[in-house]
Structure 1
Amino acid sequence: MPFADELISRHTAQNLTRAIRAAAPDADLTALRAAARQIDPLPLRQRADLLRDALLADLPGDYAALAGSVRAARDRAPHFTGWLIWPVTGAVATRAVQQGDAASFDDAMELLASLTGRLSSEFAIRTLLRHDLDRALATIVGDWTESADADIRRLASEGTRPYLPWSVRVPQILASPGVTVPVLDALYRDESEYVRRSVANHLNDLSRDHPELVVATARRWLDYPDATTQRLVRHGLRTLVKRGHPGALELLGFPPAVLDVEGPRLDRDVVPFGGSVRFTASIRNAGDAPTRLAIDYIVHHRKANGGRTGKTFKLTTRTLAPGERVEVTREHSFKPITTRRYYPGPHAISVQVNGVESDRAEFELAAPDTP
C-alpha cells in the first residue's frame, strides 16, 4: 500500500497531462510537464495544489474555457479518474471563484458533482463554500441531498465537514454553529452505508466545538429512527463518549451510576521502552437497580514539555445487577508507532466508567536502552 503522499505521484501528473492533451490538443502543457518533475519531495496536499496551479497556467482564459476542456477530458479520456481528479476539481473551483459571477459558480457546482464519482470532489468544494457559503448550501441541501447518485449525496455531507482531513477549513462553517445540520438531517436515514458513515463523521466533527448541539441533533434523530440510526448516532458521538460527556452517554443508554471502583492495579511500576503494562480494575454496582456501563481507560502520556495528555481507549460495555461486580484487565503496549511519540518519564493509567474517571495508577516509562 502506498504512503498517503504517493497517492498523487509523478505517474498521476503524467496521466493528467495525457488526459488534458486529448481534450485540448493545441494547449501548451509546459507547466504540467514541469510539475511532474517537481512533485516527489512534496506532501500530498501540496502535490494536489502544484498540479492545480499547473493546470490553470496551461489552460488560461475564462471559466467557460477551462470547464469545456475538463468536460472534454471527462468524456474522452478513459484514464481521467482517480487521484488526478483532485487537482482538476481544484482548478475548476479556483477559476470559478476568480471569474466571480453566479453562472460560473453554479456551473462549477454542477461540474464538481459530475466528477465526484471518479474521486470525491470534497476537497475542491471547500473553495466554493469559502466564497459563497449560502449559495453553495442552497444547491447542496436543495439538490445534492436528493440526488439519485450516492456519491453526490456523500459529497453533500463530506464536503461540508468542519474538520475534513487534508482539506482547508471553511471559516464560515466554523463560525456558524448548526449551519450544516440541515444537510445531515436530510441524509441520516440514507439508504447507503457510505453516505451514513459520512454523516456520522460529520456529526463527530461538530462535537469538537458544539457538543450540546450534537447531542440535541442526535436526540431528534433517535426520536424518529430507522434500523440504522442507533449505529450512526453511536459512531457520531464517539468522541463525546471518550470525553465522558454525560448527555451523550445517557443518550446511548449509559446513565449516571453509583459504583465502587477499585484500581486500576498495575503489574509493574517501570515499563521498559517499547514494552507493555498490564492493569486490572474491579467495578461493582453499588446502586439498587441494574445499570449499563461504558468502560474505557485513559493513558496519561508524558509530553515533551513534561506535562501530560490523556488518550482514551475503549475497553468494554457491561450491564451489572445491583451488587454485581466485574473485573476488567488489559495489556497496553508502548511499542513505537508512527502516529505517536513516547517520552520517557512519569505516566499514568485510569479507568473511566460512564464518563467518571477513577484514581490514576502511576508508572514510569523507561528511556530507550535502559536495562
Structure 2
Amino acid sequence: MAEPFKHLINAGLVQKAGEQLHAAWRGFDRATFTQLATTGLDALELKARARHVAAALQATLPDDFDAACGVLERSLAPPVAPDAGIVAPDRGDAPGLAGWIVWPMTEWVAAHGLAEPERALQALHAMTQRFTAEWALRPFIVQHPALAWATLARWCSDESAHVRRLVSEGSRPRLPWGLRLQSLVDDPGPTLPLLARLQDDDSDYVRRSVANHLNDIAKDHPAVVADWLDQHLPSAPPTRRAMLRHASRTLIKQGDARVLAAWGLGAALKGSATLTVSPEHAVLGGDGVTLQVVLHATSRQPQVLEVDYAVHHVKAAGGATAKVFKGWRLTVAAGEQRTLIKRHALKPITTRRYHAGWHAVDLLVNGQVVAQAGFELRLD
C-alpha cells in the first residue's frame, strides 16, 4: 500500500528543520520548536500538518518579521531542478531545506506577512525555488492586488522556472488545496496578459501550469478559452500547440463546438457507431467493465475523431450525473471499420461515492452522442 500523503511532513523532517534553522540563527530554540511541531503531528492530515509546523515556527522565530524571514531564507538548500516539481525529496545530510518541509515556511509567511507584503513576497520568491509557494501567494493577491499583479508581471521574466511557474500556478482561479480566488473566477482578465507571456516559456514545467490555468478558466468562461484558441492556435509552434491542447481538455470532453472546431474536430461522424458494455452486471471493487466501440466510416475522406464516453453515475437521492472520461483520438480512413476496447475501473475513490443501480453510458464522437449502452452496478 502506498504511503499516506500526510507522512510527507513527518517528525524526521521537523528534526532536520530544527537543525538547519539553528545553523541559520544560533538563537533558534530547536528543542522547543521540535517539541511543539511534533506534538499531535501524527493525528493530522497533510495540510493541517503544514499549518501545525507553521505555528511552531511562529513560536520560535524572531518577533521581527524581516529578521524571521532572513532566518528561513538562510536555512534553505540550493534551488531544486524545475523538473522535480513540488515533490523534491528531502536531501538527507545535505545542508539546507527543500521539499515538503518548506510548505510550513510558506504557510508562516502567508499567515504573518500580510502587513509587510513586499518582504513577504521576497521570501516566497526564495521558497518557491525549493518547493512551491502557490498556496501562500493567494492571500497577497486578495489583500494587496496592485502589488501582487505588479510583482507577478515582473516575475514573468525571472531567471528561475519555479518563479515563472508561480506566476501562473499561484493565480489559478480554482487551485486545488488553495484559497479560491473568487474575483478571478468571476473575471479572469487580470491573469490573461501574464499567461500570454508565459505560454511559450522555455520550460515545460511552466507551460503545463499555463495549460492548467487556462483549463481552470474554461470551467467558468469557456468563451474566453475559445477566443484564446482563435488568437493563439493558428501558426502556433509545437510546444504551444501541445500546451493549448492540454488547456482544451475539459471543453473538448464537454463537446464545446468552438473548441472542437478550433482543433478540427467539429464535424459530426460520417458513418455509424455501436457501443457494447460488458458485463451487464458489475460489482464495485471488482474487475470493472469493458467498453467495446465499433466505428464504421462512410465518408470518402479521412476523419479526425475524438472518441470519449460519459458514465451517468447514480446519485443517492435518485437521478444521475454524467462524468466524461477520455477515450481515444484517432483518424479513420475512408470506409474504414475500427474496433476500440477500453477497460473502465469501478474502484472506490475519495472523490466519488458510488450508488447501486443502472449506469447509462454515452459514446461521444467529436462531442456528440452517437451510441448508448450501460451496466447495472451492485455494491457487494
TM-score normalised by the chain length of structure 2:
0.87
Q: Residues 105 and 333 of structure 1: is their aligned pair in 2 closer, same or farther, counting only changes over 3 Å?
A: closer
Assess if the C-alpha contact under 8 Å between 2:271 and 2:299 holds in 1.
no
Cα RMSD, aligned residues only: 2.4
| Alignment partner of 2:106 out of 82, 85, 89 | 89
Q: Per-residue deviation at 1:327? A: 3.5
Partner of 2:47: 45
Answer yes or no: is the 8 Å Cα contact 2:75–2:96 preserved in 1. no
Match of 2:156, SS? helix
Deviation sequence 1:107-137 (CA, Å, 0-9, x none): 2212211221111111211121121122111
Question: Among residues 125, 150, 153, which one is paired with 1:138 in the alignment?
Answer: 150
CA–CA separation in structure 2 for the residues paired with 1:187 and 1:135: 20
Offset from partner CA, 1:4-52 (integer Å, 9 cap, x none): 2111122222222222222333344535522212111111111111111
Match of 1:125 in 2: 137
What is the number of residues matched between the two proteins? 362
Alignment map for 1:35-74 (pairs within 5 Å): 35-59=37-61, 61-74=63-76
Amino acid across the alignment from 1:119: F
Q: Identify the residue that residue 253 of structure 1 maps to in structure 2.
A: 264
The C-alpha deviation readout for 1:144-194, integer Å capped at 9, x for no partner, is 110111111111111111122222222332232222111110111011111
| Residues 91, 336 of structure 1: alpha-carbon distance in 2 compared, 3 angstrom cutoff | closer
Query: 2:36 is matched by which residue type in structure 1?
Result: A
The structure-2 alpha-carbon separation of the partners of 1:160 and 1:32, relative to structure 1 and needing over 3 Å to count, comes to farther
- Alignment partner of 1:93: what SS? helix
Match of 1:312 among 324, 327, 333: 324
The residue number in structure 2 matching 1:279 is 291
Which of 268, 293, 297 is the aligned partner of 2:309? 297
| Residues 18 and 33, structure 2, Cα contact 8 Å, conserved in 1 | no
Q: What one-letter code is carried by the residue in structure 1 that aligns with 2:130?
A: R
The separation in 2 between residues aligned to 1:90 and 1:338, in whole angstroms, is 26
Report 1:197-346 matches (<5 A). 197-273=208-284, 274-285=286-297, 290-321=302-333, 323-337=335-349, 340-346=352-358
Give the fraction of aligned pairs with identical amino acids, expressed as a percent: 36
Contact 2:268 2:368 in 1 (8 A): no
Question: Are the equivalent residues in 1 in contact too, given 2:282–2:378 (CA < 8 A)?
Answer: yes
CA-to-aligned-CA distance 1:265-323 (integer Å, 9 cap, x gap): 33443224413333333334456654321111112222333332222222222334555
Q: Secondary structure at the match of 1:180?
A: helix
Runs of 4+ in 1 over 6 A off after TM superposition: none
Per-residue deviation, 1:85:
1.1
Tell me, in whole angstroms, the C-alpha distance in 2 between the residues paired with 1:171 and 1:336: 31
SS at match of 2:176: coil
Q: Which residue of 2 aligns with 1:179?
A: 190
Counterpart residue number, 2:88 = none
Contact 1:257/1:287 (8 A) holds in 2: no
Q: Decide whether the 8 Å contact of 1:14 with 1:33 is kept in 2.
A: no
> Which has the larger displacement, 359-368 or 196-205?
359-368
Relative distance call for 1:264 and 1:40 in structure 2 (3 A) is same
Inter-CA distance 204–71: structure 2 relative to 1 (3 Å threshold): same
2:90 aligned partner: none
Residue in 2 that maps onto 1:78: 95
Which secondary structure state, in structure 2, belongs to the residue aligned with residue 179 of structure 1?
helix
Q: Secondary structure at the match of 2:189?
A: coil
The AA in structure 2 aligned to 1:37 is: T
Q: Which moved more, 1:318-327 or 1:132-141?
A: 318-327
Q: Give the TM-score of the pair, scaled to structure 1.
A: 0.89
Give the Cα separation in 2 of the matches to 1:330 and 1:161: 33
Change (3 A) 1:208 1:32: farther
Superposition deviation, residue 211 in structure 1: 0.9
